[in-house]
């Protein structure tokens, strides 16, 4: 599978366009991998996870044909992951030459708000599929299982376990320490070849931080996965979704995670598993 990281920042971006803190000033000065837009990935050019407000710019920056996206998986409705109004640009009369509908997947809130934003214009350009945790479905030739996140007590936020061609991806963003139901599901003989994990907060001093993971939590998740055999022998972990409030730049995250063999994602990164 091909995984293209479009954005790797938390909700405010990194640097935050309004912020004058030292970390944001350094990121602006250094540029390169320190410039991060809101988090999203594309898998095999046809399956996208989340649609943040930066999606249009990310597509222009990386030369991506968003018309080729066939499946759009939403994790939750927070604004840095969910911007359904922008999908209006895909309706008949605005976008030409599209032969297939875009399938939108998500929880109750995702489907209700997506239909409210574009439903009356959907025509043959969109279809909607309501998801339930731990109930797998097919997205083209990928098998996807939604899993529970620990992120917002007022919404069933989702993570995704994606299987294709004998390889597996765990998309673990946004969440804190994984809920016990998700741990139990993974420990039922599942294997992860690639995990994409939330590392929003940097150091937190708490390896069970709710809402988002930090450095300690990521390291503890890897340790437990290795001990239980969930992470494949050659399995990889990439961290993403960084806030400027971590005060850590890209090279600093790399130095911290290098001893554990964990990779630090950046905008535009493409990997294959």
| pLDDT tens-place string over residues 216-241 | 999 999 999 999 999 999 999 999 99
What is the CATH code of the structural domain delimited by 2-132+139-266?
3.60.15.10
User: Which tokens belong to 35?
Assistant: 């410039």
Residue 174 has pLDDT above 70, yes or no: yes
Q: How far apart are the first and last CA of the chain?
A: 5
**DSSP 8-state symbol, 101:** P
Q: CA 82, CA 109: separation in Å to the nearest integer?
A: 11
Q: How far is CA 199 from CA 34, 209, 229, 269, in A?
A: 15, 11, 22, 17
145 to 10, 27, 52, 196: CA distances (angstroms): 24, 36, 22, 15
Q: How confident is the model at residue 185 (pLDDT cuts 50, 70, 90)?
A: very high
Is pLDDT at 93 greater than 80 in this prediction? yes
Closest CA to 128 of 136, 92, 175, 117: 117
Rounded distance between C-alpha atoms, residue 159 and residue 173, angstroms: 7
Distance of CA 99 to the CA centre of its chain: 27
Residues recorded for the chain: 273
168, HSE (Cβ side, Cα atoms, 13 Å): 18
User: What distance in Å separates the CA atoms of residue 242 and residue 219, rounded to the nearest whole number?
Assistant: 16
| pLDDT tens figures, 160-170 | 999 999 999 99
Note the pLDDT of residue 160: 99
Q: Quick one: pLDDT band at residue 207, thresholds 50, 70, 90?
A: low
Which residues are within 8 A (CB) of 255 and not within 5 positions of it... i.e. 6 or more apart?
Answer: none
Mean of pLDDT over the chain: 96
pLDDT of residue 82: 98
pLDDT digits (tens, 9 = 90+) for 108-160: 999 999 999 998 888 899 999 999 999 999 999 999 999 999 999 999 999 99
**Helix, strand, coil content of the chain in percent (nearest 5):** 30, 30, 40
Whether this prediction's pTM lies above 0.85 is answered by yes
Q: Which residue has the tokens 């992120």?
A: 151
Is the bond preceding residue 15 a cis peptide, omega within 30 degrees? yes
Q: What pLDDT is recorded for position 120?
A: 86
pLDDT tier, 253 (very low <50, low <70, confident <90, very high otherwise):
very high
Bridge partners (DSSP) listed for residue 89 = none
- pLDDT of res. 119: 86
Give the pLDDT confidence score for residue 204 in this predicted structure.
85
Distances, alpha carbon 1 to alpha carbons 47, 64, 268, in Å: 11, 17, 16
Report pLDDT for 208.
75
Q: What is the pLDDT of residues 10-63, one digit of tens each?
A: 999 999 999 999 999 999 999 999 999 999 999 999 999 999 999 999 999 999
Ramachandran assignment for 32, one of left (phi > 0), alpha (psi -120 to 50 degrees), beta (any other) = left
Q: Is 82 left (phi over 0), alpha (psi -120 to 50) or beta?
A: beta
Contact between 44 and 2 (Cβ < 8 Å): yes
User: HSE (CB half, 13 Å, CA atoms) of 110?
Assistant: 27
């Amino acid at each position: 599978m091909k995984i293209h990281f479009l954005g790797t920042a938390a909700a405010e971006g990194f640097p935050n366009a309004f912020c004058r803190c030292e970390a944001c000033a350094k990121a602006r000065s250094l540029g390169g991998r320190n410039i991060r837009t809101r988090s999203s990935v594309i898998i095999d050019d046809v399956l996208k996870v989340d649609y943040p407000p930066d999606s249009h710019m990310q597509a222009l920056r990386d030369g991506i044909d968003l018309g080729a996206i066939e499946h759009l998986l939403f994790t939750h409705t927070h604004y840095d992951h969910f911007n359904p109004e922008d999908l209006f640009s895909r309706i008949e009369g605005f976008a030409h030459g599209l032969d297939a509908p875009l399938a939108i997947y998500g929880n109750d809130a995702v489907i209700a708000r997506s239909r409210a934003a574009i439903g009356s214009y959907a025509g043959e350009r969109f279809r909607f599929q309501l998801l339930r945790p731990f109930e797998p479905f097919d997205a083209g030739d990928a098998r996807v299982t939604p899993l529970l996140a620990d992120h917002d007590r007022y919404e069933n936020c989702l993570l995704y376990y994606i299987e294709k061609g004998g390889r597996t991806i765990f998309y673990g963003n946004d969440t804190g320490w994984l809920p016990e139901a998700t741990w139990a599901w993974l420990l039922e003989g599942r294997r992860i070849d690639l995990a994409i994990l939330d590392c929003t907060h940097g150091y937190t001093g708490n390896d069970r931080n709710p809402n988002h993971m930090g450095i300690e939590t990521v390291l503890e998740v890897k340790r437990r996965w290795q001990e239980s055999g969930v992470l494949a022998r050659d399995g990889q972990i990439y961290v993403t979704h960084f806030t400027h409030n971590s005060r850590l730049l890209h090279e600093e995250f790399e130095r911290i995670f290098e001893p554990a063999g964990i990779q630090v994602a950046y905008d535009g990164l493409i990997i294959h598993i």
